[in-house]
Amino acid sequence: MEAFDLLAQGFAVALTPTGLFSIFMGVLIGQIVGALPGLGPAAGMALLLPVTFGMDPNAAVMMLAGILYGGMYGGTITSVLINVPGESSSVMAAIDGHQLARRGRAGAALAVAAVGSFFAGVVGTVALAFAAVGLSAIALRFNAPEFFLLAVLGIIATASLGTGSPTKALLMGAVGLAIGAVGTDPISGNARLTFGNSYLVDGFDFLPVAIGLFGIAEVLVSLENVHAEKPITTRLRDMWMTSAEWAQSRMAVLRGSAIGFVVGLMPGAGATVAAFLAYVVERRFSRNPEMFGKGALDGVAASESANNSSVTGALAPMLALGIPGSTGTAVLLAALVLQGIRPGPTLMADQPILVWSLIASMFIGNVVLLVMNLPLAPLFAALLRVPYVLLAPAILVFSLVGAYAATMSFVTMVVAMGFGIVGYLMIKADLPRAPLVLALVLAPLLEESLRQSLLLSLGSPMIFVERPFALALLITVIVFLAMPFVLRRFSKAGV
């Protein structure tokens, strides 16, 4: 009963005028920075840290947390409408969401993302409120070997991201890993694969690569038939989800919420890994797996639910143990330090009102997001009625500005344009783009955890079978590696 009493006290603080204003401003700013390629929730929080200096600690933390989970939905808007992911966890929404938009179903894609985000946020917050300490203790048993195998599982599972050849998907995943190796060695600090170019020392940032491969490449392909491209016609009744689509998406939302929260508990995994794993799992459970990559509403539902619930999952180790589970929670931790609050295992005991007002604010913030976005989904979708000859230049400008904002350097604009050409050639050659981007995201985690594992074991690979969680993940990796080829052989044999 103590948890319910503390939660009631948290709601008493969150429902004050100051608390409600902080929550509303947080989710509003979060959506804006999430929709702008190059910023993202963590960057938006960092930019607003100075604003929190004179604020009440409770209000400051509630506002910054609102930016964190509000930004998860903001990135979906540009992903669905113009195929430009606002941040890395929105890549999965872009794969199917934009295909739905091209069929006049952008409203349905945005609606299921809003509902999925709301449900995942509420479920994740309930789990955070009543299971944070116990779940965090389990998550902390994950070390370098488990994170390496989790990243390998992600790379192997890229074969499930399309309806084409799994060999092509794995090949593009390998190319993504090679691109991720460019830059500075994470262990020794030496430059590698830079060919003497100082601009490559920091490697290839995810955002300009994704903007090029998805946004710019799609525009280049469409410009070949610019006169044939007509505005997407959307009828009002098509901008909402049908009862069959609601039924189709229910379990996807539920599974995505569970996967996202569990992945969020693992420090360093992040929303991108959560959205990716939820998408892959949902394709296995879907009644129409052939639609994934072509406009699967349950694919959007699963990935968007996962990236939102991962935010609450990442808060669990931060609140229970003082260990940030993601970049965004690291910024939130910095905000606590700036307010003179010491984070750590005693935070929930020393600052119960702050912790429980934060948890209560997340319930309220998710309701605000749903009320704000559900009626606006048809309005956002109506933007696609603009003739493509006018929309294409706007998408290009938006993409290049987003690429520049990522590092405030014109070099990233060149990188985005270069990968736009690469993406155009990949479309022409029927090569999947999503595995390349996701392998690029997972490359740092994979390399660092592999080398740390071998350092811990003095070079022995037995570390990957001696630990129970690592062994379970290794078996899963082997199953995932063999599954696409086994299924294809059975389908050819007519079994």
Q: Cα–Cα distance between 62 and 385 in angstroms, integer? A: 37
3-state SS, residue 183:
strand
Please state, in angstroms and as integers, the Cα–Cα distance from residue 260 to each residue in 255, 313, 462, 481, following that order: 8, 7, 29, 22
Asked, for residue 236, whether it belongs to a domain, the answer is no
Asked, for residue 235, whether it belongs to a domain, the answer is no
Check if the beta carbon of residue 184 is closer than 8 Å to that of residue 192: yes
Residue 489: count of CB within 10 angstroms of its CB: 10
State the DSSP H helix or E strand holding residue 184, giving kind and residue range, or none if neither.
Answer: strand 183-184
Residue 448 token pair: 């660092």
Residue 155: count of CB within 10 angstroms of its CB: 23
Q: Which residue do the tokens 């699967």 mark?
A: 296
Asked, for residue 461, whether it belongs to a domain, the answer is yes
DSSP string, 96-143: HHHHHHHTT-HHHHHHHHHHHHHHHHHHHHHHHHHHHHHHHHHHTT--
The domain of 389 spans 2-225+245-493
Q: What is the pLDDT of residue 158?
A: 61
Phi, psi at 113, each rounded to 5°: -65, -40
3-state SS, residue 340:
coil
Roughly how many angstroms between the first and final C-alpha of the chain, as a whole number? 55
Residue 162 token pair: 């399309």
pLDDT tens by residue, 243-281: 777 777 888 888 888 888 888 777 656 677 788 788 888
Residue ranges for the chain with pLDDT beneath 50: 1, 162, 228, 495
Q: What angle do CA 390, 394, 399 make, to 5 degrees?
A: 150
Please state, in angstroms and as integers, the Cα–Cα distance from residue 325 to each residue in 39, 124, 311, 406, following that order: 19, 14, 9, 22
Residue 181: count of CB within 10 angstroms of its CB: 16
Asked, for residue 404, whether it belongs to a domain, the answer is yes
Q: Cα–Cα distance between 245 and 250 in angstroms, integer? A: 9
Phi-psi region at 204: left, alpha or beta (left = phi > 0; alpha = psi -120 to 50) = beta
Check if the beta carbon of residue 52 is closer than 8 Å to that of residue 90: no
Q: Cα–Cα distance between 427 and 421 in angstroms, integer? A: 10
Asked, for residue 234, whether it belongs to a domain, the answer is no
Nearest to 93 by CA among 141, 136, 34, 179: 34
Q: Tell me the pTM.
A: 0.67
Asked, for residue 232, whether it belongs to a domain, the answer is no
Return the bridge partners of 183, or none.
192
Please state, in angstroms and as integers, the Cα–Cα distance from residue 355 to each residue in 37, 42, 136, 158, 168, following that order: 31, 20, 16, 38, 47
How many structural domains compose the chain?
1
Q: What is the pLDDT of residue 12?
A: 87
Non-local (6+) Cβ contacts of 254 within 8 A are 119, 305
Dihedral angle sign, alpha carbons of residues 236, 242, 248, 250: positive
Residue 313 token pair: 């999952």
Nearest to 288 by CA among 243, 245, 352: 245
Q: What is the pLDDT of residue 495?
A: 46
Asked, for residue 240, whether it belongs to a domain, the answer is no
Residue 320: count of CB within 10 angstroms of its CB: 24
